[in-house]
Structure 1
Amino acid sequence: MALRFFIILAVFLLLQVYIGWHVDLFIAAAGWHVPGGLFWPVFSVVSLGYLLARMLRRVLPRAAADGLKWIGSYWIAIIQYSVLLLPFADLAAWVLREAALLSHRESILWTGVAVIAAFSVLLVKGSHNAWSPVVRSYEVNIPKSAVGIRQLSIAAASDLHLGTTVGRRHLQRLVDRVNELQPDLMLLPGDVLDDDVTPFIKHGYARKLAEIKATYGTYAILGNHEYYGGGITEFVRAMKEVGIPVLLDETVTIADQVYLIGRKDKTDRGRKKAAELVAGLNGELPIILMDHQPAAIAEIADAGVDLSVHGHTHRGQMAPNHLVTKRIFELDYGYLLKGRLHAFVSSGFGTWGPPIRIGSRSEILSIIVRFESESDNK
């Protein structure tokens, strides 16, 4: 593990040098002069901002840590698309020089301008996709009876990542859009927090979530980021105080007719197996399950669950990362009917790292579930 860590760290630092070298070349080609003794320290703080914010958050003033995290968050997007764009820019500059179309300085300058233009488009489009949520609507039938309930309207929003980057304004969008849907049930399938519980408590985000109006209430589970931050006890307490249960391998009954199971995240090695969670339940009633990571869909289907809701993948958040998530998970986004299980994976409502989405959108799931047993059709 130590060897892997140092290899990853070395690759990461080499990438920063590679990007910084290009920035320095472009500044010089543009006719500006920034001494290396100034450029590289400033560049280092920017490029390592996210790591510095995480490592020094208990030492730095809150405003400084938040500022570093903001800068570092956007830098994550810069890193990814620099790796994708800069090699082509280098090739284009070489071709332009070899063809004697531009001088050495001009080739660096104009390919640099092209890269900056591409980044500008990505950042503008990506910001729009991140801050402008859409509603994804689905309708499914579960062949079971729920006495007195012919249909259940479920709204779900995973991966809010509330903290420094995603805050009250975006959370208000969630409250407004969900209340427009007038759901019977609101589900928050993990990563409500962006690691640190402090901003969640400080800004009263639990009280804002409590403004969501759902006939049978709002329920949440833990995601991997709640575990990373180490503030689970405070988070669960704050949610409980506003009437939002965080289900920890627990089951509640909705209107005495529908089971809702909240599973602990895969990060928790002590979590129960899906079969243990459904053991003892009346299999003739509908069973809905929340599990943050969509890594156990086959297990959940085999356990006899009727509908599951997941998040975690963000659909890669920034293309082409979705090609990776598709390889990792059987279902990394959207809907899958596996046996009798209706499985849903959301791209999430918030963002991790940069508030940028390319090839994905901030979204809310709206799922209409109709209950109809075989006897109802006779």
Structure 2
Amino acid sequence: MFVLIFVGGVLLAHWYLWLRLVRPTTGPGRLRKALTWGLAGLLGLLVATFAGSRMDLLHGLAWPGYVWLALMFYLVIFLVVLEIPRAVAGWVLRRSERGRTPAPEPEPVAIMAGAASTPEEASQAPAGVSSATPSMSRRLFLERTTAAVAGVGALGAVGYGMASALGDPVIESIKVGLPKLDPRLGGLRFAVVSDIHLGPLTGRAHTERIVRMINGLEADVVAIVGDLVDGSVADLGPLARPLRSLESRYGAYFVTGNHEYFASGGHLEWIEELRELGVRPLRNERVEIRHQGAVLDLAGVNDLNGESVGDGPDFGKALGGRDTSRSTVLLAHQPVQVDQAARHGVDLQLSGHTHGGQIAPFNLVVGLQQPVVAGLATIGGVRVYVTRGAGFWGPPVRVGAPPEITILELHSAIR
């Protein structure tokens, strides 16, 4: 279903771009044909990029393919926004044309010996005289101006978004009050990171920077809340190795995201790889974090996409049989899993998945699927913190949702 919707959307977007950027700004001829074939080539590039990423092939197409995807998206957005002013300007132009007195017919001019002897030469107007009518010139100016404004807007948005996505993540500092938290656990600090998305557009330096920034926070616990990778261990193993250098008082923990189940080598190979790197996966299980003589339950559940391979979330296994007088922090990739967390008395859920929308206005679409797009909220009595993630998926672009690493501090009083 996702593939069908994606392909249909991409085809519709390219058709719309042809209607707004190619047909009205050019006349029949070589230029229109060249632009049409160029747009068709970009469509083929996009399809090849997605097909290659699913099969760990054609990684060389990733950069141009994903950058075009972002440009295509923002071209459509800007052109849609410009539809109303374009329509108003067109209406004004048509009214002005109806009210204009027709120009007198030109006098016939004899062609003298030595004058243009071919139809092409004869059709050329003298210097300073346009061969197009004034109304045609104004219409063409309107269409080309609309296309230029949309193009500049799309290039600006994508350029800004690439600088944001490829730059340093923002450090978000959050204090969360849990009413039944043992006061001795007050001040316990979690470094929360999600959606690192190691893949063909990221290098080892991407992981090294994230590890360096996390280590600088001097956290008690590191929580990696899913979507670490977009490929197999064979392809991306070297990019994940800096995770071995993560530093924290009580360890680093990981739960699967939906993309771990898309990896060509399977999610289990990444589970074992992370164990080798010193990061403990919490696969529908929990551990005790002992701090200053008090105990906190830290639990983790698998992502919902694991159900397709018999590895889905099991809240009963992760949270059953515990001492309910203790506070429980749950790692769950998707915020929507908070419904089950509430039924099991979880105090705080840490999630990712949404990217904060990644590319505005996608944040409005994400909000239709997930109860929280980014930040801290309370759902069904459970405090939920959703990080925007430290990486990106698809286009190396973030607009309105900069990458993030969070330092989250627990307190017993409500803040």
CA 26–205 in structure 1, closer or farther in 2 if over 3 Å, else same: farther
1:31-67 per-position Cα deviation (integer Å, ceiling 9, x unaligned):
995473x54454334234343134246989x5xx123
Pairwise mapping of residues 205-224 of structure 1 onto structure 2 (< 5 A)?
205-224=239-258
Give yes or no for the alignment of 1:74 onto 2:67: yes
What is the CA–CA distance in structure 2 between the aligned matches of 1:200 and 1:8, rounded to whole Å? Answer: 26
Does structure 2 retain, via aligned residues, the 8 Å contact 1:175–1:212?
Answer: yes
Does structure 2 retain, via aligned residues, the 8 Å contact 1:92–1:111?
Answer: no
CA 339–5 in structure 1, closer or farther in 2 if over 3 Å, else same: closer
What is the CA–CA distance in structure 2 between the aligned matches of 1:307 and 1:7, rounded to whole Å? Answer: 35
Query: How much is the aligned-residue C-alpha RMSD, in angstroms?
Result: 3.0
1:204-231 per-position Cα deviation (integer Å, ceiling 9, x unaligned):
1222122221111211111001111243
What is the CA–CA distance in structure 2 between the aligned matches of 1:138 and 1:57, rounded to whole Å? Answer: 36
Q: Give the AA of the match of 1:264.
A: N
1:224-279 per-position Cα deviation (integer Å, ceiling 9, x unaligned):
01111243122122211111122221222223822221211011224344233211
Pairwise mapping of residues 76-115 of structure 1 onto structure 2 (< 5 A)?
76-100=69-93, 103-115=138-150
Q: Give the AA of the match of 2:301.
A: R
Partner of 1:233: 268
Give yes or no for the alignment of 1:194 onto 2:192: no
Among candidates 234, 249, 264, match of residue 284 of structure 2 = 249
Aligned-pair distance for 1:163?
A: 0.5
Does structure 1 retain, via aligned residues, the 8 Å contact 2:330–2:346?
Answer: yes
What is the CA–CA distance in structure 1 between the aligned matches of 2:320 and 2:353, rounded to whole Å? Answer: 26
Partner of 1:293: 334
CA 206–150 in structure 1, closer or farther in 2 if over 3 Å, else same: same
TM-score scaled by structure 1?
A: 0.84
Aligned-pair distance for 1:317?
A: 1.3
Q: Give the AA of the match of 1:290.
A: L
Among candidates 383, 386, 389, match of residue 342 of structure 1 = 383
Aligned-pair distance for 1:371?
A: 5.1
CA 137–249 in structure 1, closer or farther in 2 if over 3 Å, else same: same
Partner of 1:321: 362
CA 229–134 in structure 1, closer or farther in 2 if over 3 Å, else same: same
1:154-173 per-position Cα deviation (integer Å, ceiling 9, x unaligned):
01111111101233333233
Q: Residue 295 of structure 1: SS of its match in structure 2?
A: helix
What is the CA–CA distance in structure 2 between the aligned matches of 1:229 and 1:84, rounded to whole Å? Answer: 31
Partner of 1:15: 13
Partner of 1:117: 152
Among candidates 35, 38, 43, match of residue 39 of structure 2 = 43
Q: Residue 169 of structure 1: SS of its match in structure 2?
A: helix
Partner of 2:106: none
Q: Residue 42 of structure 2: SS of its match in structure 1?
A: helix
CA 338–229 in structure 1, closer or farther in 2 if over 3 Å, else same: same
CA 111–129 in structure 1, closer or farther in 2 if over 3 Å, else same: same
Q: Give the AA of the match of 1:75.
A: W
What is the CA–CA distance in structure 2 between the aligned matches of 1:370 and 1:26, rounded to whole Å? Answer: 61
What is the CA–CA distance in structure 1 between the aligned matches of 2:406 and 2:4, rounded to whole Å? Answer: 40
What is the CA–CA distance in structure 1 between the aligned matches of 2:144 and 2:226, rounded to whole Å? Answer: 45
Partner of 2:194: 158
| Max Rg structure | 2
The alignment of Structure 1 onto Structure 2 pairs a total of residues equal to 362
CA 284–238 in structure 1, closer or farther in 2 if over 3 Å, else same: same
Does structure 2 retain, via aligned residues, the 8 Å contact 1:195–1:227?
Answer: no
Partner of 2:22: 24
Aligned-pair distance for 1:6?
A: 5.2
Partner of 1:258: 296
Partner of 2:127: none
CA 35–19 in structure 1, closer or farther in 2 if over 3 Å, else same: closer
Partner of 2:315: 274
What is the CA–CA distance in structure 2 between the aligned matches of 1:81 and 1:326, rounded to whole Å? Answer: 20
Partner of 2:128: none
What is the CA–CA distance in structure 1 between the aligned matches of 2:177 and 2:391, rounded to whole Å? Answer: 29
Partner of 2:182: 145
Report which stretch shifted further, 164-173 or 138-147.
138-147
Aligned-pair distance for 1:97?
A: 4.9
CA 299–90 in structure 1, closer or farther in 2 if over 3 Å, else same: closer
Q: Residue 245 of structure 1: SS of its match in structure 2?
A: strand
Report which stretch shifted further, 219-228 or 251-260.
251-260
Partner of 1:362: 403
* Structure 1 unmatched runs, 5+: 373-378
Does structure 2 retain, via aligned residues, the 8 Å contact 1:166–1:351?
Answer: no
1:279-331 per-position Cα deviation (integer Å, ceiling 9, x unaligned):
12222333221110111213202212222100111121111221222222222
Q: Residue 85 of structure 1: SS of its match in structure 2?
A: helix
What is the CA–CA distance in structure 2 between the aligned matches of 1:174 and 1:133, rounded to whole Å? Answer: 8
What is the CA–CA distance in structure 2 between the aligned matches of 1:58 and 1:225, rounded to whole Å? Answer: 11
CA 88–330 in structure 1, closer or farther in 2 if over 3 Å, else same: closer
What is the CA–CA distance in structure 2 between the aligned matches of 1:109 and 1:367, rounded to whole Å? Answer: 50
CA 288–229 in structure 1, closer or farther in 2 if over 3 Å, else same: same
Q: Residue 349 of structure 1: SS of its match in structure 2?
A: coil
